[in-house]
Amino acid sequence: MLLRTIALLLLLASGASAQTKRAPLPPISDAILQEHVELGEELESRADGDLNGDGDPDTAYVTASEDRRTLHVLLRIHGRGVQTHRPAGELILPEAPLGAASLSIAKGVLKVEDLSGGTTAMSSTYRYRLDAKTGQMRLIGLDATLYSRTFAHDGYEMSWNLLTGAIITRVLALNGDGDNAAYTPKFE
């Protein structure tokens, strides 16, 4: 009898805690996001995921026009029955994109992968995390590679961890020519 009573109490307690926990909000709708896109701009890419640890999906998106590309971050806010969002930062991206920026959010980190340029291209990966004190996104890592897409010259790589301060740079030496052209890391 005592075991049944304990089991019933545990069942009731787990049901009560499940009732107090609310379901996560849906991502910001495309209609709301379009309100933030200025005249002459278009939505290039977007990603939804939890950046502030509240369980609700926040949104990162890139807008593009003929002369400007901008990364924006909106945090989803829920409080006292009101659902809203607030800006948490923006970044001007390089012009002359060679495709849409790729955005992803995992474990509270926003990852932005971008390729821009022409025959000489810059491949960049930015990593951001929300700074709890300021409520703004903070750059925590940057990887960049400058190289020739036609193998006309050497390339260069850089990886910078802003949390540790570690910076690694490499020269990418052109190796071979024609269909056999490739880059080989030479100096680090």
Tracing tokens 């029955």 back to the chain, one arrives at 81
Residue 60 confidence (pLDDT): 97
Report the run of H or E that residue 47 belongs to, with start and end.
Answer: strand 42-49
**How many Å apart are CA 37 and CA 49, to the nearest integer?**
20
pTM value? 0.83
Residue 79 has pLDDT above 80, yes or no: no
**How many Å apart are CA 69 and CA 65, to the nearest integer?**
6
Could you report the per-residue pLDDT of 80-128, keeping only the tens digit for each?
666 678 899 999 999 889 999 999 999 999 999 999 999 999 999 999 9
Phi and psi angles of residue 49, each rounded to the nearest 5 degrees, phi first: 180, 165
Residue 158 has pLDDT above 90, yes or no: yes
Residue 69 has pLDDT above 70, yes or no: yes
